Amino acid sequence: MMAIFTFARLTLFEARRKRILFAAILCGVAFLVVFATGVFLAWRELLRRQISFVERQGLLVMFTLAGLYAANFLSVLFAVLLPVDAVSGEIDSGVMQTLASKPVRRADVVLGKWLGHWIVVAMYLMTLSGGVLLVSRSITGFVPPSVVGAISLMLLEVTLLMTVSIAGGTRFSTVTNGIASLGFYGIAFVGGWVEQIGALGGIQSARTLGVVVSLISPADSLWRLASYNLQPAFVRDLGAVVFTSASVPTPLMVWWAGGFTLVMLVVAVRSFEKRQL
Amino acid sequence: MSERVGPPEGGPYVDGGPDVIETDGLHKMFGRTLAVEDLSLSVGRGEIFGFLGPNGAGKTTSIKMLLALVTPTGGRGLVLGKPLGDRATRARIGFLPEHFRFHDSLTGRELLRFHGRLHRLAGLPLEARIDTLLARVDLIEAADRRLRGYSKGMLQRIGLAQALINDPELVFLDEPTSGLDPLGRLLVRDMIAELRDRGTTVFLNSHLLGEVEATCDRVAFVKQGRVVHAMALREESQCVDVELRVAPLDAATLTGLAQFGTDVTQVSADVVRLRAASEDAVPAIARWLVARHLNVYALHGRRRTLEEWFLDIMGDDQRPG
C-alpha cells in the first residue's frame, strides 16, 4: 500500500515539476474566460429581447450545457493523453526496469500511477466544470439541476477513459496506445450519435447498434446521461436544446461503466505483471 | 543441459555461506528468438563475478531473468536462496541497468529519496544514507540539480548510488562504466573494491575486459546464450604461455615437455608452445633442456590477458555485435 502512494506522489510531483498542471490550469482559465465572455454577451442580449421565461431558460440550459460539453470533451482528451505514456514510455526508456527490480509488486506501480493520474484528471475536470457552473451562476443566476450527480457521471467517464489509456500502455507502445485509446472514445462518440439519430428518426436498428456500441465503449453514454440530468424537466419535455437526449441511457449503464472501469484496471495490473521488461 | 559452472574449491572470493546465485538451465525465448539457451552457474557470497560475452550473447537477458524482469521459459534459479522474483529478496538486491534512465525532472537527491522509499526507508536514516552515497559518487554539489542537466557520466554515477541505496547484499551492475571517463571508471573500480571489503556480492556485466580483469574474482563466458566457461581469474592469471625454439625438436622432447604444462603444440620445425601453470615452469624447462644437451635458441613465458582468454574461448566464429 505504501508503494502505491509513493508512485502516486511521484506522478503528482512530476505533473507539477513538468508544469503539466500549470499548462492545464492556464488552458482551463483561457477556456473559462472565453466561455464567460460568451455567456455575458448572450445574457445581455437576452435581457434586451422580449422573450418568454421558458425560451430564456431553454437558452440558459443550452449555454451551460455547451460549456459543460466543452469541459467534458477537454477532460476526456486530458484523461486519455496525460497517462498515455505513463507505463509504455517508462518501459521504452528503461526506467521501468529500475522500478520493477525494487521490492514492490508490479500492481503497486500500476495502481500508484493510476491514483496519481486520477487525482490530476479529477482536479482538471472539477476546475473546468466547476468554473462553467460558477460563470453561469454568477452572470445569469442559472444553476442546472442534479449538478453533483452529473459531475459524478462525467468523473466516471474520464476515469474509465484514463484507465483504458493506462491499460493500453501496459501492452502497446505510446503512439499505438494513444491512437487506440482515442479510437475507443471515438467509437463511443459515434455510437452515441447513431443511437440518438436512430431514436429521433424511429430507426430501431440504428438505435440498437448505438446501444451495443455503448456497451462496448460506455464512455459517451455517461455524458449523455449527465446532460439529460442537467436539464430541467420542462426543458427536456420541450426538446428545446441541442443536447436533448432522445435515447437516454438507463442507470444500469452507470453500473456497467463502473464495472467496465474496474475490469480495465484489473486488466492493466494483470497485463503489466506479465510484461517482459 | 550443460554442467553447472560454479566457484572452485578454495576460490579467491570470501566464502560466507551458500551460493548467492544458483541457476540450472535457465532458458529464455522471445517468440521464436532464442535469447538464452542455458544459463547454469553459481556465484558465491562476497564474490566479484564478471559476466562476459559478445553483444547479443544474452548477458542482459540473463540479468533480467535473475531480477525477474523477464520470465524464464525453462530452468530454475535461486537468488539469495529464494526463487527468482521473490519480493522480499529484492529488498536485499541492488541493480544498475545498462543505460540508466530516470524521470529527468527530479534532482539527484529526489531520485535517491524516491528509490529509498521504495525500499521502505524513510526519515533521518534515509537522508543520511543519501548524503553518504552522494559524497561517495562525487555528486554532492550537483545533488539539488535536475537530472536533465546531468552529463552521461553523472547519470551513471547517480544510477550507481541508487543501486546501493538499500545497502544491498547482492548488486547487479550492467555496464557500470559505460559513458564514464577514466576518473569515473576509477571511482567505480574503487567502489566495487569497497563492496568486496564489505562482503557484498557483485555481478558485473562489462565489455571492458581490463576493468573486469582488475576487479573480478571469477568470470563466466557466455556465448550464444550458453555459459561456456568459467574461471577464477587469480588462478588462471598465473598461467603462462611458453614459447621455445630448440633443436633438435623430436618426439621425445615434445613428450618430455608435456610434464611442464598442457597444450604442447609444435608450431614449426624448431618452435614449440605450451601452457604452464605458473612462471616457475620457465626456469624448470630451461634446466631440463640443458640437461638433455639440446640447443636452446629462445625461451620465454608470457601471462595471458583476459582478452586473449576471451578471444580463445569465443573462437573465430564470432563477429562484432
Measured between CB atoms, does B82 come within 8 Å of chain A? Answer: no
Instruction: Supply the pLDDT for residue B9.
Output: 45
Which of the 8 DSSP states describes residue B315? -
> Kind and range of the H or E element at B266?
strand B262-266
For the cut 60, the answer to whether the pLDDT of residue B2 exceeds it is no
- Among the listed ranges A90-94, A137-141, B148-152, B304-308, which one has the minimum average pLDDT value? B304-308
Chain B residues with CB inside 8 Å of A98's CB?
Answer: 95, 97, 100, 102, 115, 159, 162
| Phi, psi (rounded to 5 degrees) for B298 | -155, 145
Per-residue pLDDT, B5: 59
Distance CA A277, CA B270 (A): 57
How high is the pLDDT of residue A242? Answer: 62
For residue A11, what is the nearest residue in chain B, using CA coordinates? B103
User: Is A17 touching B (CB cutoff 8 A)?
Assistant: yes
Q: Least CB-CB distance to A95: which of B93, B95, B102?
A: B102
- A101 to chain B: which residues are within 8 Å by CB? 67, 69, 90, 93, 95, 97
Task: Pick A276's closest partner by Cβ from B70, B106, B119.
Answer: B70
Does residue B236 register a pLDDT over 80? no
Q: What is the distance in angstroms between the Cα of A10 and the nearest Cα belonging to chain B? A: 8
pLDDT of residue B18: 77
pLDDT of A119 reads: 96
Instruction: Compute the radius of gyration of chain B from its Cα atoms.
Output: 23
Contacts with B95 from chain A: Cβ below 8 Å:
97-98, 101
Looking at residue B110, its pLDDT comes to 95
Q: Does A95 touch chain B (CB under 8 A)?
A: yes
> What distance in Å separates residue A79's CA from the closest CA in chain B?
21
In percent, how much of chain A has pLDDT > 90? 60
Beta bridge partners of B229: B221
Interface contact A97-B97, CB threshold 8 A: yes
- Asked if the Cβ–Cβ distance from A103 to B91 is below 8 Å, we say yes
**Taking CB atoms and an 8 Å limit, are B87 and A105 in contact across chains?**
yes
The pLDDT assigned to B17 comes to 57
Mutate to test the interface with A, among B29, B36, B117 (most CBs of A within 10 A): B117
Per mean pLDDT, which range of A52-61, A209-218, B155-164 is the poorest? A52-61
ipTM: 0.82
Res A67 pLDDT > 90: yes
Alpha helices (runs of H) in B85-215, residue ranges in sequence order: 87-90, 108-118, 123-136, 152-163, 182-197, 209-215
Query: Looking at beta carbons, which residues of chain B come within 8 Å of A271?
Result: none
Look at B95 and A97 and tell me if their CB atoms are within 8 Å.
yes
> Residue A52 has what pLDDT?
84
Of B69, B110, B117, the CB nearest to A101: B69
Residue A69 predicted with pLDDT over 90: yes
* Average pLDDT over every residue of A28-32: 91
Which residue of chain A comes nearest to B90, CA vs CA?
A103
* Region B187-207 average pLDDT: 91
Report for A20-34, A116-130, B9-23, B92-106: range of highest mean pLDDT: A116-130
- Taking the Cβ of residue B144 and every Cβ of chain A, the question of whether any pair is shorter than 8 Å is answered with no
With contact defined as beta carbons under 8 Å apart, do B254 and B86 qualify? no
pLDDT at A54: 79
pLDDT of B66 over the 90 cut: yes
Average pLDDT of chain A to the nearest whole number: 90
pLDDT interval class at B237 (50, 70, 90) = low
Residue B99 three-state SS: coil
In this predicted model, which residue has the larger pLDDT, A255 or B10? A255
pLDDT in tens, A157-192: 999 999 999 999 999 999 999 999 999 999 988 888
Mean pLDDT of the A99-109 span: 95
pLDDT at B12 (0 to 100): 38
Q: What is the 3-state secondary structure (H, E, C) of chain A?
A: CHHHHHHHHHHHHHHHHCCHHHHHHHHHHHHHHHHHHHHHHHHHHHHHCCCCHHHHHHHHHHHHHHHHHHHHHHHHHHHHHCCCCCCHHHHHHCHHHHHHCCCCCHHHHHHHHHHHHHHHHHHHHHHHHHHHHHHHHHHHCCCCCCHHHHHHHHHHHHHHHHHHHHHHHCCCCHHHHHHHHHHHHHHHHHHHHHHHHHHHHCCHHHHHHHHHHHHHCCHHHHHHHHHHHCCCHHHHHHCCCCCCCCCCCCCHHHHHHHHHHHHHHHHHHHHHHHCCC
Which of A63, A37, A33, A59 is CA-nearest to residue A46?
A: A59
What is the tens place of the pLDDT at every residue in A34-48? 999 999 998 888 888
Percent of chain A having pLDDT more than 70?
97
Using one digit for the tens of pLDDT, what is the confidence trace for A186-242? 998 888 888 888 888 888 888 889 889 888 989 999 999 999 898 888 777 766 556
A17 to chain B: which residues are within 8 Å by CB? 105-106
Question: Is residue A88 a contact partner of residue A177, using CB atoms and an 8 Å limit?
Answer: yes
Three cell numbers, residue A214: 455503448
Lowest pLDDT segment from A137-141, B12-16, B135-139: B12-16
Residue type, B48: I
Q: Do B95 and A101 touch (CB under 8 A)?
A: yes
Query: Which of chain B's residues have a Cβ under 8 Å away from the Cβ of A277?
Result: 64, 69-70
Question: Of all residues in chain B, what percent are helix, strand and coil, respectively (each to 5)?
Answer: 35, 30, 35
Q: Name the residue of chain B whose CA is nearest to A93's CA.
A: B101
Range 100-159 of A in CB contact (< 8 A) with B: 100-105
Q: Does residue A267 belong to the interface with chain B, where contact is any CB pair within 8 Å?
A: no
Rounded to a whole number of angstroms, the distance from the CA of A113 to the nearest CA of chain B is 14
Out of A17-26, A230-239, B299-308, least confident range: A230-239
CB B110 within 8 A of CB B165: no
With CB atoms and an 8 Å threshold, state whether A277 touches B70.
yes
Mean local confidence (pLDDT), A61-80 = 92
